[in-house]
Copies of this chain bind each other. A is one copy, B any other.
Amino acid sequence: MSLKLYLAGPEVFLPNARHMLDAKAAMAREFGFEPICPGDVTIEPAPTRHEFGLKISAVDEGMMNRADGIIANLTPFRGIAADVGTAFELGYVCAQGKRVAAYTNMTANHFQRTREFYKGEIAEGPDGRKRGPDGLSLEDFDMIDNLMLHGGIERRGGFIAVHDAPPDALYTDLTAFRSCLDWYASR
């Protein structure tokens, strides 16, 4: 039985979503895995947009329930953090006790990105925490994203790949995705 891997990430939003999902699935099959991709199943029409969204949620959760593990693309999306849908899915699969791997195509870590968000205006408060001008504290834990995501993967023996993709290939470069496949194959 080949390992079933849920391929999570913001690829579904790309103009060439179908192409990217197919490329990731093909690469996973090369390694002998069975890819499970959101976007692979045609969702039946629904009376409202809202109900259509609920159907996609149901299909994607069903896919995770059938998977043995996940490869989550945590490359920052529309801001300094991972796509929240992917973060939800990573937490879901962690709770199920399944295998977890993730990657990011940006080498600047969570702290560096948050510092950049504040244009470097960071001050250390009396409590020893670094804070932005808005008073909100910054996590500085040498992690690729919020500690629940990075910690959730690392603490259960998962794998994290970091790759410096060219800006114009931030969501299409599959180098780090392949590293995750390599890791699954070596286990």
Interface residues of A (CB under 8 A from B): 10, 12-15, 17, 48-50, 52-54, 56-58, 60-61, 64, 78-85, 87-96, 114, 117, 125, 131, 135-143, 145-152, 154-155
A49 touching B140 in the complex, CB below 8 Å, given contacts A83-B146, A89-B91, A91-B90: yes
Q: Which one of A61, A79, A88, A135 has the greatest number of beta carbons of chain B within 10 Å? A: A88
CA distance A18 to B59 in the complex (A): 39
Q: Do the beta carbons of B151 and A56 come within 8 Å of each other?
A: yes
Tell me, rounded to whole Å, the shortest Cβ–Cβ distance linking A88 to chain B: 4
Which chain B positions have C-beta within 8 A of A54?
A: 141, 147, 151, 154-155
Tell me, rounded to whole Å, the shortest Cβ–Cβ distance linking A3 to chain B: 19
A150 touching B79 in the complex, CB below 8 Å, given contacts A87-B91, A136-B13: no
Q: List 17 A-B contacts (CB under 8 A).
A: A52-B141, A53-B139, A57-B150, A57-B155, A61-B94, A78-B79, A78-B81, A78-B114, A79-B80, A81-B83, A84-B148, A84-B149, A85-B146, A85-B147, A87-B87, A93-B95, A95-B96
Q: Which one of A138, A147, A154 has the greatest number of beta carbons of chain B within 10 Å? A: A147
Which chain B positions have C-beta within 8 A of A87?
A: 84-85, 87-88, 91
Q: Do the beta carbons of A78 and B80 come within 8 Å of each other?
A: yes
The closest CB in chain B to the CB of A56 belongs to: B147
